[in-house]
Amino acid sequence: MAYLYTPWLLFTQILLQVAKYEAKVPAIIVFGDSSVDSGNNNRISTLLKSNFKPYGRDFAGGQPTGRFSNGRVPPDFISEAFGLKPFVPAYLDPKYGISDFATGVCFASAGTGYDTATSNVLNVIPLWKEVEYYKEYQNKLRAYLGKAKAKKILTEALYLISLGTNDFLENYYTIPTRQMEFTVQQFEDFLIGLSENFIREIYSLGEHNNVAVEFNGKLSNMVAKLNQELPGLRILFTDKIYQLFYQIIKRPSSYGFEVAEVACCATGTFEMSYLCNENNPYTCKDANKYVFWDAFHPTDKTNKILAASVTGILRETFE
């Protein structure tokens, strides 16, 4: 029996897909956007990067990695919680190879979405290309470990997909093209169709996870449909992560934070990527006091809390 776990964090979908739950899984495989990108955008021609300080200042070694955080992102914490490496390397990072990717790999690209038009806005990796990289990874893994071991890893790995924010904020609400084609409800349905196709494609490759609230309801219906149609797959849907993040923002002091209304970097009101740089005198000294690192992304501390919740849900579900 395969399992696929689907919480929502704001507009961001997180899918966790596991073939069976054990104390730890053999690998973490990541698809998505800047909420989980561990550095793939460093290697492509795009303005949407974070491979410069102060990004990464609280990461091991204090150096920027391409993660949109002062430290780690949720897949890193989840990987460590399952007894694997304390970080998930980016597939396009030349410092790593298949021996590193055998226990975890990230195909995510900041700025991407379900809609290919979303990835075109800032010239980032579209979701279909992430899937092509995944197919390439499968072949490399088989060549490295042999078919039997590779199949075991691919089947029992935990898959995380964090996606959807940019389709709304960067695409629909910013570029008029989709607004002329779809009402917001029609665009939701369009994205649900793309999400379903994506899950079906990953499944076919041999693996057995206001607008946000409205979209959640539609996603829940799609989950029920796939549970009936895809043999050996069980999908779990919850909005606990969305609720947790909302509570952190609403009552930051309850979670050890002092500031939720602005971000740590620069003025904390709208900056991210190159607008969040080490020359800005307004960047905070202690990011642990802040819920957000830049205007769009959580701090290392917030990511750790959210990842712990995801891990806890998985443990409760599969133990």
Active site includes 208? Answer: no
Residue 297 falls in the annotated catalytic set? yes
Amino acid at 232: G
Catalytic residue among 34, 38, 50, 69: 34
**Could you say which of 37, 58, 79, 297 is catalytic?**
297
Angle of helix 147-156 relative to helix 127-145, nearest 10 degrees, comes to 140
Whether 100 is a known active-site residue: answer no
CA pair distance 146, 188, nearest whole angstrom: 41
Query: Of the listed 93, 115, 239, 294, which one is catalytic?
Result: 294
Write out the catalytic residue numbers.
Answer: 34, 294, 297
